[in-house]
Structure 1
Amino acid sequence: MPDLELQLREDRLLRDAARALVTADLAHLKREVDPESASAPDLGSRARDLADDARDYVTGHRLQVGTLVAALVAAIALWMFREPLAAIVRDLLDSEGEDDEAEAEQAGGDDRSVNEEKLPAETQA
């Protein structure tokens, strides 16, 4: 019987040690996965590095960045005023179409009179 009690005691100690290892590993894993566990100084230094890199790029490429910003502002302005601009373009195209029709009618009337003069007398009657 003493052997069984000794074996049982050893098994319980092994079980408790294994349980402690598993719970410690699980707690460590939860800390790694938890977004709140990310250290603030580490995130701050990363943000500072990113801002420094961006500033260095902008100061080194002023013309390209300025052109990009101007194009972006122009695209946003065109998008915001797309309906009034489309109406203006439509009005311009419609007025040009009416002018072209009026000129075509005048030219068409002149062409007929010229053609009538060129026609033989038989066809005019």
Structure 2
Amino acid sequence: MSYRRARMLEDKHLRDSARALVDADIKHLKSDFAHRSFAGRALDRVREGATDLYEEAIDVAEDNKGALAALLAAVAVWFARNPILEMLGFGQEADEKHDDRDEGSERWDP
């Protein structure tokens, strides 16, 4: 057998092997699509991403406990801002009293 013929047969076997791998991949993909719907695969991918994000958030929170405590304190103060402002005299009641005084005085604006 000549060198060219041996090389051609070797290339043909490599081509056939590559084709068999591609056909197996296509068959695998088709069976995967048949078992799960597009929405199911999308939901799985979102769930995996959310899990990864949660794990990363836990790692960051463990590394930065002081910053996390400051953030939680800032959120608590934000939600309690109205009672705090009222205790200091800057709340809505003080604004309403100020508005009542302005309404009692008559002004003439041309």
- Higher RCO, Cα 8 Å, sep 6+: 2
TM-score (normalised: structure 2): 0.35
TM-score (normalised: structure 1): 0.32
**Higher helix proportion:** 1
Which protein shows a greater Rg?
1
